């Protein structure tokens, strides 16, 4: 039974490279402690890996509707964001503080949060995740803009 303060019916997909491994593990424990279900798409150690392998898995799960949101971690957040944003319907946002994470959801309808693990603390990471999944998209004028993002 879900005892989370968040009203999510689907799991949250998590993924990372070696630079984001500890952050992913921290957020995974945090979310599970809140009663949420996560799908861990790896990596599963600090050993060097190629970030696209894990970013694609997270983006595909969100793209297919298997997960409510995705959260990706790498050193700068850039590599995983670039990879995830290649998928149709994915709006992956690099966030470095709580207000940016909130705006990514409320104004940009972001569905994947990308965390730059080398530049934020684990505490800020958890706070961003909480705000990201708790924030609704505002729609309205923002929906018109979101509709203009796809190229085709």
Q: Which domains does the chain have, with CATH numbers?
A: 12-138 (3.40.1400.10)
The tens digit of pLDDT for each residue in 113-143 reads: 999 999 999 999 999 999 999 999 998 899 9
**Cα distance between residue 130 and residue 143, in whole Å:** 23
Percent of the chain with pLDDT over 70: 94
114 has catalytic annotation: no
142 noted as active-site residue: no
Question: Which one from 74, 87, 95, 114 is the annotated catalytic residue?
Answer: 74
Q: Which two tokens stand for residue 127?
A: 């706070």
Alpha carbons 5 and 91: distance in angstroms, whole number: 24
Tokens matching residue 34:
């809140």
pTM of the model: 0.94
Alpha carbon distance 27, 98 (integer Å): 15
Can you give the pLDDT at residue 102? 98
- Could you tell me which residues are beta bridge partners of residue 93? 113
Binning pLDDT at 50, 70 and 90, where does residue 151 land? confident
CA 132 to chain centre: 8
DSSP string computed for 48-111: ---HHHHHHHHHHHHHTTSSSEEEEEESSSHHHHHHHTTSTT--EEE-SSHHHHHHHHHTT---
Burial (CB count <10 Å: 0-12, 13-18, 19+), residue 12:
buried
Catalytic residue, chosen from 18, 30, 107, 142, is 107
């Amino acid at each position: 039974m879900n005892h989370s303060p968040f009203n999510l019916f689907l799991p949250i997909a998590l993924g990372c490279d070696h630079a984001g491994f500890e952050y992913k593990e921290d957020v995974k424990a945090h979310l599970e402690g809140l009663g949420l279900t996560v799908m861990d798409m790896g990596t599963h150690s600090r050993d060097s890996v190629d970030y696209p392998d894990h970013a694609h898995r997270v983006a595909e799960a969100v793209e297919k509707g298997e997960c409510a949101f995705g959260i990706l971690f790498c050193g700068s957040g850039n590599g995983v964001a670039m990879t995830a944003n290649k998928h149709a319907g994915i709006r992956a946002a690099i966030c470095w503080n709580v207000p940016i994470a909130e705006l990514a959801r409320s104004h940009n309808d972001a569905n994947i949060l990308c965390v730059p693990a080398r530049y934020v603390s684990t505490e800020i990471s958890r706070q961003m995740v909480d705000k990201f999944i708790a924030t609704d998209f505002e729609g309205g004028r923002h929906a018109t803009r979101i509709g203009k993002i796809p190229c085709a």
